Amino acid sequence: MSLDTAKEVIDAAERRANEIDNPMVVTVANSEGNLVAQHRMDGAWLASVDISRNKAYTAAALDMPTHDLEEPTKPGESLYGLQNTNQGRMVIFGGGYPLERDGDIVGAIGVSGGAVEQDMDVAEAGVDKFDDLSS
Amino acid sequence: MSLDTAKEVIDAAERRANEIDNPMVVTVANSEGNLVAQHRMDGAWLASVDISRNKAYTAAALDMPTHDLEEPTKPGESLYGLQNTNQGRMVIFGGGYPLERDGDIVGAIGVSGGAVEQDMDVAEAGVDKFDDLSS
Amino acid sequence: MSLDTAKEVIDAAERRANEIDNPMVVTVANSEGNLVAQHRMDGAWLASVDISRNKAYTAAALDMPTHDLEEPTKPGESLYGLQNTNQGRMVIFGGGYPLERDGDIVGAIGVSGGAVEQDMDVAEAGVDKFDDLSS
Amino acid sequence: MSLDTAKEVIDAAERRANEIDNPMVVTVANSEGNLVAQHRMDGAWLASVDISRNKAYTAAALDMPTHDLEEPTKPGESLYGLQNTNQGRMVIFGGGYPLERDGDIVGAIGVSGGAVEQDMDVAEAGVDKFDDLSS
């Protein structure tokens, strides 16, 4: 995951965040969950600095979107307790997505700053950009 | 728990992981929950490095399989909150097992990398190997 | 500290890093030490992700360049032990600078990825850019 | 860094540790500092579980042997304070080495369990094995 690619992905997410008028924090990590780039848009929540980074970490560390963790981590479901692993870095609501090329994970994006639906919407704009760059 | 025994246990778990085509992280700890050996199979999730190690820790630290913690740690149940103790090292879903000889705990195995059923399946192959070596 | 300003400051630092052929991690924080933007250039050290961020934190949190902390934190000097405060976020070698406008701190830059002299060189290119934008 | 390669590197280090009659903990990490495999030889220090892992982390995170950090992190030297960064994961004495192929870092080895000279001796046996496998 090059910095140039990460910046283009983040720019696309920021454009979408501006369209829906919701400032976000956007992070791109590499396939081992380490940061490549992170931007906090003006007015975005402080809490989202951590959440955005850890959504990217979670999506990279499990190679799946973070919204797929909402159901199985509920009390009584099979992965209840996953949210307590990885030293507090697991985020179990939407806004984190793996970035894949030819079926292999090469990184992840994490977006935080609005309701989960907004976070997912903005993150998906980043995923789409990544897919365009990879095709 | 000797390193040689730990390696045989891990090898047995890895063979089972290969049979079910699911790369895993496998850890063997001693009776005090400290690491003896850990292997991350190619393609296994990064998140499983932490989870595997801590499943082994939890199983050793409580002398019970981690899947026995799923029910009592639900909200309203007797051990709700256990998952917040031990500096985030308690894992409350399946895949961790104590390794016992003549009724005494001598260590534990922790497996992570798939659905809980797969983790348990692979960990049990390790437990079986340990029992064979001890008989 | 707006994201647009932070990006311009980081871009200036990256240009200098390219001139001296030393990939860097560059962070801009706001006056409260919280992240505005962070970029890891291709090939920059993993360790620098943490160090860059915390140089910016330290410079904001103490309103001084981090190289001013090298002397007073030596054993026997007045601030010995400062490096153990703030949950490990204090960085006491060069590469972090406050960003000031009209004598007031508005943020900080932290650069890591080379020898301290290179880190300072690149960070100063970011400070210069910030001063240009503010004048 | 495949698990098979990591195991061969660790085996070579363990053979050397046996030759010098000093039980060690040996870790191989990938290029982003995450664990691939770790073995604690019978009788090796508990403290070495952490130190071995973090020597591998440090060597990967800075792409240099950890003994190169001994001098510059002394009080009065340019990197004094580096040992307080990266949340306590920086190890600044010998026993950690990057593992490189064609000039690119692909992982790192960290050995702990004896005097620094013994740690380095054993780690170098692992580095030599890695170089043999890569040639």
What's the pLDDT tens digit per position in B105-132? 999 999 999 999 999 999 999 999 999 9
- Mean pLDDT on A34-46: 98
How much of chain B exceeds pLDDT 90, in percent? 99
Q: Do A39 and C7 touch (CB under 8 A)?
A: yes
Residues C36, C33: Cα–Cα separation, whole Å:
9
How much of chain D exceeds pLDDT 70, in percent? 100
Q: Going along chain B, which residue ranges are E strands? A: 25-30, 35-40, 96-101, 104-112
Residue of chain D minimizing CA distance to B46:
D34
- Mean pLDDT on B15-36: 98
**What does the pLDDT read at residue C135?**
84
Long-range contacts of B78-87 (CB under 8 A, 24+ apart): B83/A81, B83/A84, B84/A84, B86/B57, B86/B58, B86/B61
Q: Do A84 and B92 touch (CB under 8 A)?
A: yes
**What does the pLDDT read at residue A135?**
84
* Residue B60 confidence class, pLDDT cut points 50, 70, 90: very high
Rounded to the nearest angstrom, the minimum Cα separation between A41 and chain C is: 6
**Chains B and C contact (Cβ–Cβ under 8 Å for 3 or more pairs):** no
Residues of A with CB under 8 A from a CB of C: 2-3, 6-7, 34-42, 46, 49
Residues of C with CB under 8 A from a CB of D: 45-47, 50-51, 54, 69-70, 73-75, 83-84, 88, 90-93, 115-117
How much of chain A exceeds pLDDT 90, in percent? 99
**Structure tokens, B106:** 């001598």
**Pick from C42, B79, B103: which is nearest to A4 by CA?**
C42
Residue of chain C minimizing CA distance to D77:
C70
Residues B72, C82: Cα–Cα separation, whole Å:
44
Which residue(s) pair with B27 in the sheet?
B38, B110
**What does the pLDDT read at residue D135?**
84
Residues of B with CB under 8 A from a CB of A: 45-47, 50-51, 54, 69-70, 73-75, 83-84, 88, 90-93, 115-117
Question: For the segment A46-97, what is each residue's pLDDT rounded down to a tens digit?
Answer: 999 999 999 999 999 999 999 999 999 999 999 999 999 999 999 999 999 9
Residue of chain A minimizing CA distance to D61:
A34
How many domains does chain D fold into? 1
Distances (CA, A) of A111 to A126, B55, D3: 9, 30, 33
Choose from D32, D85, D106 for mutation: most chain C CBs within 10 A.
D85
User: B11 is in which domain, residue-wise?
Assistant: 3-134
**What does the pLDDT read at residue B92?**
98
Question: For the segment C30-73, what is each residue's pLDDT rounded down to a tens digit?
Answer: 999 999 999 999 999 999 999 999 999 999 999 999 999 999 99
Choose from D28, D39, D48, D53 for mutation: most chain B CBs within 10 A.
D39
CATH number at residue D112: 3.30.450.150
Distances (CA, A) of A66 to B101, C82, D14, D101: 41, 38, 40, 35
**What does the pLDDT read at residue B69?**
97
Point out the residues of chain D with pLDDT beneath 70.
none
Q: Do A61 and B46 touch (CB under 8 A)?
A: yes
ipTM higher than 0.85? yes
Burial A62-95 (b: 16+ CB within 10 A, else e): bbbbbbebeeebeeeebbbbbbbbbeebbbbbbb
Q: Do C7 and A38 touch (CB under 8 A)?
A: no
